[in-house]
Structure formats: structure tokens, C-alpha cells
């Protein structure tokens, strides 16, 4: 009886997990300490200690029945892409978050060995411990941020909201290795029906993701609504019509669905200012620190409802009305010349249309010309507001306690 041996494909790496880890560790050490720092200089025992110290990263798992396998696959692919991109600054170097994790392993084991040989009062040990702690803080913070970025990209009021829980867990009882567990949960839209201009319309409540088993349904403090609200509630629930979402997507036409969902989250997760104009409630929409338009709100049945989205050039918003007064352009002119959508302004060349730029400046929308220098992919959009994203996470207690060192 003959035995067939399946040949491996040429060029395919046959590295196992341990050898792959050593290769990755060597690359990180070269980046941080130069080409003379080699993983081979470390003893086999030391290398195995590093490997045992490393966390195991499993694929995210569904927390409840509202998360599909296809959605989990998307979340896993997006988060892993962020995990290996070299965007994290550590001293003078840029590392991926995965490499930062490897650096933490290296510094931690080195600190443990130094403490064992020299004692806990040794200055080298104290310095290594502080560096490892800093690396751990940055790594875990970025790990949460990256997953949070992904769930905000996929969350929309008329489809589904997502959230995450990230926690450590022991992989095996008698094994020092630890696992990072990422659980994803979903919430179906909270839909209601309101009488809008004499017609019953479906409306969707706005929410923001959290890192626990609850979702943050968005409310607005009624003190922000001035004389537009004369009721007795201290807070109102916030909703949007599908028409507002449609206009948001149409008029911000260079943004894909991920960027649209994130921008909606960015401008509504904490509503702190409402503008009053011509009897309307206007929520400014900011993109790369530039005001590009307004969500138009009205109060119905003790709820704040956003009924449409106006680009900044439209009538019924301050800048759009000033533009109309200066130029004489009407509603149909705005649409005809396509100056009611984002794509027009990112192509605007100041040297070719100086008079047009001057008119926009006079109308109070001159900052919009700065958008031509921006990248509108989701990574650029989220990285531009990384500090605010971190602040939101900290404010809502999304960062759980850092993992304790396993050998201390």
C-alpha cells in the first residue's frame, strides 16, 4: 500500500507560532535598538519566557444573537489590519500595536530577570519596569481604541449598533499564557413613529457604542434648546428620520459608509451646542475641524428629531443665506452648480477661482477650502480625532484596568 505525501506549495512559509513569534520579536528589536540587537543573542530559556509572556489574540466572538458571523468576520479583518499598522509613536520610533506588545514582553521579562539578579532597588530594574508599564498602557489603550474605531464604523441608527467587551482570561490553568477576549454585541434599531408635518414617519433613535453590556442611547439636555422647548423634561431622547440619513449620505458623497457612520457618531455622541436660526434648531456638523453643514432638528412629542441635513451652502442656514444674498444664487442654482455636496469642495482650486473663494469667505464658509488638502478615508478621519476618541473612551469608563504583570 502506497502512502501519498502532500507536497507543500513552494514559497509558502512553514513557520510555526513559536518561530513566527521569534521572527516578529527580532524585527521589533531591530526597529527599536538597531541591527546589532538580535533575538539569537538571547538564550533559549529567555526566548521561551518571552513567548510564554505574550498574550494570545483570538478572533472576536459574538456576545449576543444580534451579531452575525459575517459581521464578526468584518470586525476581525478590520481590527487585525489596524493591529499591524505601524502608527503608534514610541519615543522616536513608530511601531504597530502588535510590535508595541512585543516590546512590552521584552521589557517586562528583562525587568523580571534584573530584579531577580539585582533586587527591586536596582536602578536598571526600576527604569525597565517603568518603561514596560508605559508600553503596556499605550498598547492596551490603543487595542481598545482600534476595536472601538471598528464598531463605530459599522454602527448606524437605521441598521444596528455594535459594542465591545475586552477582558483578559487565563488560557490554561497551569499555563502562564494569557488570552485577550474580545466579545462583540449588537443592538437592533430603536424605532418609533412620529407625526411629522401631518404624516406618520418612522424615526430611529441615535446611540453610541460602549464597552459594556449596555448601549448609550443619546439624550439632549433641554437647557440647550432655549425657548424651543417649554415642557418639563430635563432631557429629551434624540431621533433621526431616514430622510436626514439619506441627505447626509448624498451630500457628503466622497465618504464611504464607514466614514459616514463614524462622522455621524462624532457629531452626535455628545450634543453640547445647538444653534437657533429662523425658528430652526441646527446641530453643526464638523469634518476635520471645518463646519460643513447642519442637522436640522424639531421637537415632537418631547423628542428631538433631526429631519434633514443641510450642506453649508443651502438656504435656511446662516452661511447659505448669506451666500444667497451676496450672489443671488437660488435653491436650484446651488443644486445645478453642485455646490451642495462635499465632492465639489475637495476639488476646489483657489488659484483658478479666486473670486468664488472670496465669496465663500464673505459668506462665512471660507474654511471649507481647507478640505481639499485632506484625505477622506476612514483611517485619516479617525486618526485626526484620536485625542477626542480617547477622551470619550476614558469619560465613559471604557478602559478597564490594565493587566497585571504575570510574573510579579
What is the spatial distance between Cα 291 and Cα 371, in angstroms, rounded to a whole number? 10
Enclosing H/E stretch for 61: strand 61-62
pLDDT for 11 equals 46
From residue 170, alpha-carbon distances to 103, 237, 342 in Å are: 21, 41, 49
List pLDDT tens digits, range 35-55. 877 777 788 999 999 999 899
Tracing cell 485625542 back to the chain, one arrives at: 387
- Helix residue ranges, H only, 207-290: 242-251, 257-268
Quote the strand ranges of 109-198, DSSP E: 161-172, 175-187, 191-196
Rounding to the nearest 10 degrees, give the CA dihedral for residues 82, 87, 93, 96.
0
Q: DSSP for 90-109, please give it.
A: ETTEEEEHHHHHHHHHHHHH
What is the spatial distance between Cα 316 and Cα 177, in angstroms, rounded to a whole number? 60
Question: Could you give the 3-state DSSP secondary structure of residue 58?
Answer: coil
Longest distance between any two alpha carbons in the chain, whole Å = 92
pLDDT for 1 equals 45
Which residues in the chain land under pLDDT 70? 1-15, 170-176, 211-213, 329-338, 353, 395-408
pLDDT for 303 equals 96
Q: Read off the C-alpha cell for 293.
A: 453643514
pLDDT for 397 equals 55
**pTM confidence score:** 0.86
The 8-class DSSP code of residue 60 comes to P
pLDDT for 257 equals 95
Amino acid at each position: 500500500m502506497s502512502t501519498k505525501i502532500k507536497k507543500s506549495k513552494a514559497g509558502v512559509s512553514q513557520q510555526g507560532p513559536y518561530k513566527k513569534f521569534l521572527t516578529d520579536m527580532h524585527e521589533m528589536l531591530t526597529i527599536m535598538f538597531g541591527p546589532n540587537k538580535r533575538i539569537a543573542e538571547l538564550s533559549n530559556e529567555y526566548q521561551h519566557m518571552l513567548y510564554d509572556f505574550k498574550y494570545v489574540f483570538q478572533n472576536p466572538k459574538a456576545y449576543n444573537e444580534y451579531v452575525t458571523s459575517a459581521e464578526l468576520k468584518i470586525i476581525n479583518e478590520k481590527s487585525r489590519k489596524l493591529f499591524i499598522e505601524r502608527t503608534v509613536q514610541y519615543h522616536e520610533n513608530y511601531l504597530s500595536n502588535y510590535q508595541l506588545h512585543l516590546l512590552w514582553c521584552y521589557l517586562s521579562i528583562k525587568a523580571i530577570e534584573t530584579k531577580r539578579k539585582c533586587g527591586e532597588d536596582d536602578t536598571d530594574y526600576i527604569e525597565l519596569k517603568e518603561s514596560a508599564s508605559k508600553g503596556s498602557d499605550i498598547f492596551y489603550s490603543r487595542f481598545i481604541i482600534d476595536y472601538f474605531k471598528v464598531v463605530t464604523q459599522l454602527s448606524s441608527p437605521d441598521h444596528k449598533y455594535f459594542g465591545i467587551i475586552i477582558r483578559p482570561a487565563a488560557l490554561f490553568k497551569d499555563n502562564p499564557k494569557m488570552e485577550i477576549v474580545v466579545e462583540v454585541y449588537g443592538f437592533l434599531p430603536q424605532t418609533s413613529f412620529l407625526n411629522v408635518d401631518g404624516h406618520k414617519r418612522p424615526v430611529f433613535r441615535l446611540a453610541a457604542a460602549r464597552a459594556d453590556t449596555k448601549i448609550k442611547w443619546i439624550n439632549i439636555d433641554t437647557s440647550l434648546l432655549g425657548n424651543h422647548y417649554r415642557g418639563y423634561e430635563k432631557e429629551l431622547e434624540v431621533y433621526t428620520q431616514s430622510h436626514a440619513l439619506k441627505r447626509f449620505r448624498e451630500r457628503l458623497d466622497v465618504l464611504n459608509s464607514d466614514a459616514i457612520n463614524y462622522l455621524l457618531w462624532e457629531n452626535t455622541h455628545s450634543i453640547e451646542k445647538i444653534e437657533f436660526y429662523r425658528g430652526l434648531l441646527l446641530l453643526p456638523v464638523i469634518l476635520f475641524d471645518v463646519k460643513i453643514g447642519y442637522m436640522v432638528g424639531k421637537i415632537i412629542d418631547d423628542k428631538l428629531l433631526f429631519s434633514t441635513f443641510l450642506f453649508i451652502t443651502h438656504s435656511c442656514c446662516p452661511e447659505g443665506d448669506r451666500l444667497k444674498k451676496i450672489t443671488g444664487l437660488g435653491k436650484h442654482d446651488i443644486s445645478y452648480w453642485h455646490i451642495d455636496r462635499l465632492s465639489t469642495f475637495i476639488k476646489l482650486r483657489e488659484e483658478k477661482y479666486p473670486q468664488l473663494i472670496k465669496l465663500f469667505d464673505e459668506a462665512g464658509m471660507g474654511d471649507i477650502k481647507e478640505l481639499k488638502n485632506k484625505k477622506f478615508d476612514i483611517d485619516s478621519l479617525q486618526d485626526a480625532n484620536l485625542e477626542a476618541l480617547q477622551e470619550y473612551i476614558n469619560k465613559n469608563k471604557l478602559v478597564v484596568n490594565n493587566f497585571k504583570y504575570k510574573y510579579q
